[in-house]
Amino acid sequence: MVHVASIVPISLTVGANRIVPAVAIPHPLGNPELPEDEERKLRLNLVKKALRALQVEVEIQTVFEE
Backbone angles phi, psi at 52, to 5 degrees: -60, -40
Residues 21-41, buried b or exposed e (16+ Cβ, 10 A)?
Answer: bbbeeeebbbeeeeeeeebee
Any contact of residue 59 with other proteins (CB under 8 A)?
Answer: yes
The binder of other proteins chosen from 37, 57, 65, 66 (CB under 8 A)? 57
Any contact of residue 21 with other proteins (CB under 8 A)?
Answer: yes
Give me the residues that bind other proteins (CB under 8 A), please. 1-11, 13-18, 21-30, 32, 40, 43-44, 46-48, 50-51, 54-59, 61
